[in-house]
Amino acid sequence: MEYKLLINGELVDGAGTMPVLNPATEEILAECPTASEDQLNEAVTAAQSAFEQWKETSLDERRAKLGEIADIIDANSDELARSLTQEQGKPLEEAMVEISGAAMFFRYFQSLDLPVEVLEDSETQRVEVHRNPLGVVGAIIPWNFPVFLLAFKLPAALLAGNSIVIKPAPTTPLTTLRLGELIANVLPAGLVNIIADKNDLGDKITTHKGISKISFTGSTATGSRVLASAASTLKRVTLELGGNDAGIVMDDVDVEAVAPQIFDGAFGNNGQICIAMKRVYAHESIYDKLVDQLAELAKEAAVGNGLEQGTKLGPLQNKMQFDKVKGYIEEGRADGTIVAGGEVPDGKGYFIPPTIVKDIDDDSRLVKEEQFGPVLPVIKYDDIDDVIERANDTDYGLGGSVWSSDTDRAYEVAKKVDSGTIWVNKHADVQPHIPFGGIKTSGIGAELGEEGLAEFTARKVINVAKA
């Protein structure tokens, strides 16, 4: 398939090209067009022009377009999911869930409103709060969920009345470019622009004077640079960044019941999820049994090409992450005991089996840092207040979970965990109507829900004196 950039409603060649690899085979999947700075400027100019028209359209018209995009995603879900598996690596079944989830998120935002809020309507004055669009949004998308995370940003931006320039990750641009081709004739020219790059246009987007807001999902280190560069033009910024989510497993759990849920919370998408469970604290009374259960699940999980039926975990998405995770495995081997996985197979593909590490302490790099891969440390504790303090002893604050047969007891613990989201007896449950975002170095602002929609708007107060 030939891929094109989407600029000003036209499908165009890039100024250059780059190979996109299939991480399961390390073979070139396709040649992808890459944009120049001039093409980025063309996209922003087109988006500025489209914004002037789009902001005047009715909310009903905007909603209708979101519905059309959702229908297109659903109608092409098989093709998009297969493309996603080939470039990202995740099993085809998970890719289908991502594609259908994206369509669902578009339909959720289609249902929202932007009502005028009346703060006061008295004899002396009427005070209203209006939500106006910002202008051009720059959306920078990571490689772990290229389509799903796009659906955190694109429908909210459009419903609020903005235009957008989208930059997918260089290792996973193809499905996004294909989606751009599918929706090109549905939207006004220039409203949605999609460019790809070799990681050389990010700072041009974040400093561009024609862009009013940056919505970024990615690592904390990159997010810090995004914030610094966006400050030069005082852009609005939403950052959803890294996490080191702790799962606290209390002494009264049914280990056999919760172990599969904990495993999925840690190893979904091969652990390449910002809100994956990165470390598990298990009470000493159930520690050995939980470790054994997780180890069995790890040994049973089929690792392979995501297009092959029965695959539970595909490859890591790229060579850089593959090498990084191999380093964390060696940290686990030195600092603890590997009870499942730990051996990287020979041959092509960035495959790493799910790895469980026990008898490891909080000061290990594997516990303190975000591994973003299929390696899970399981740490023992005996005092609940102590483990809460240990779970909170991190610069991150994205998510976390508490597991107990007594929901009320778990709830009291959950209130004391420092994170943007804390789940009880589940993990990584993201729904479109629930705002999502981190604290500390895990991000700024929120996405999803009415609160997430508001972040794509500017507050305008109209204060009228009455005679």
Q: What is the DSSP string of 252-289?
A: T--HHHHHHHHHHHHHGGGG-STTSEEEEEEETTTHHH
Tens of pLDDT, residue by residue over 200-239, are: 999 999 999 999 999 999 999 999 999 999 999 999 999 9
Rounded Cα–Cα distance for residues 46 and 398 (Å): 35
Report the pLDDT value the prediction gives residue 76, as an integer from 0 to 100: 98
Within the chain, all domains assigned CATH 3.40.309.10 are found at 245-424
The pairs formed by 420-427 with CB atoms below 8 angstroms and a separation of 24 or more are 420/446, 421/275, 423/399, 425/258, 425/261, 425/401, 426/261, 426/265, 426/401, 427/245, 427/247, 427/261, 427/262, 427/264, 427/265, 427/275, 427/277, 427/399, 427/401
370 annotated active-site = no
DSSP state of 114: -
Res. 313 pLDDT band, cuts 50 70 90: very high
Rounded Cα–Cα distance for residues 3 and 170 (Å): 14
pLDDT at 467 over 90: no
- Side chain identity, residue 227: L
Of the listed 32, 94, 98, 274, which one is catalytic? 274
Rounded Cα–Cα distance for residues 148 and 168 (Å): 12
pLDDT at 28 over 90: yes
The CATH code belonging to domain 245-424 is 3.40.309.10
DSSP state of 398: S
Locus of tokens 């495959």: 351
pLDDT at 375 over 90: yes
Residues 428-443: what's their mean pLDDT? 98
Rounded Cα–Cα distance for residues 48 and 58 (Å): 18
E strand or H helix that includes residue 119? strand 117-121
Given CA atoms 178, 182, 184, 188 in this order, what sign does their dihedral have?
negative
The two three-digit tokens of residue 284, written as one number: 């000493």
Within the chain, all domains assigned CATH 3.40.605.10 are found at 5-241+440-465
Say if residues 137 and 163 touch (Cβ distance below 8 Å). Answer: yes
Tally of CB atoms within 10 A around 120 = 11
32 annotated active-site = no
By DSSP bridging, strand 163-167 and strand 192-194 are parallel
Report the pLDDT value the prediction gives residue 206, as an integer from 0 to 100: 98
Of the listed 240, 331, 369, 447, which one is catalytic? 240
Q: At what angle do helices 92-110 and 150-159 cross, to 10 degrees?
A: 20
3-class SS of residue 436: strand
The two three-digit tokens of residue 421, written as one number: 């989201």
- Side chain identity, residue 290: L
Report the pLDDT value the prediction gives residue 331, as an integer from 0 to 100: 96
The two three-digit tokens of residue 406, written as one number: 């007594």
Say if residues 411 and 371 touch (Cβ distance below 8 Å). Answer: no
Tens of pLDDT, residue by residue over 166-179, are: 999 999 999 999 99
> In angstroms, what CA-CA distances link 172 with 18, 139, 146, 199, 301?
12, 15, 7, 12, 25
Residues 6+ apart with CB under 8 A from 300: none
Tens of pLDDT, residue by residue over 389-420, are: 999 999 999 999 999 999 999 999 999 999 99
Say if residues 270 and 141 touch (Cβ distance below 8 Å). Answer: no
DSSP state of 235: -
Tens of pLDDT, residue by residue over 57-90, are: 999 999 999 999 999 999 999 999 999 999 999 9
Report the pLDDT value the prediction gives residue 213, as an integer from 0 to 100: 98
Rounded Cα–Cα distance for residues 305 and 27 (Å): 13
Mean of the per-residue pLDDT values for the chain? 98
CATH architecture for segment(s) 5-241+440-465: 3-Layer(aba) Sandwich (3.40)
Residues 6+ apart with CB under 8 A from 121: 127
Say if residues 268 and 91 touch (Cβ distance below 8 Å). Answer: no
pLDDT at 264 over 90: yes
Say if residues 379 and 367 touch (Cβ distance below 8 Å). Answer: yes
Say if residues 22 and 29 touch (Cβ distance below 8 Å). Answer: yes
By DSSP bridging, strand 355-358 and strand 375-381 are parallel
pLDDT at 257 over 90: yes
3-class SS of residue 364: coil
Say if residues 343 and 353 touch (Cβ distance below 8 Å). Answer: yes
Res. 55 pLDDT band, cuts 50 70 90: very high
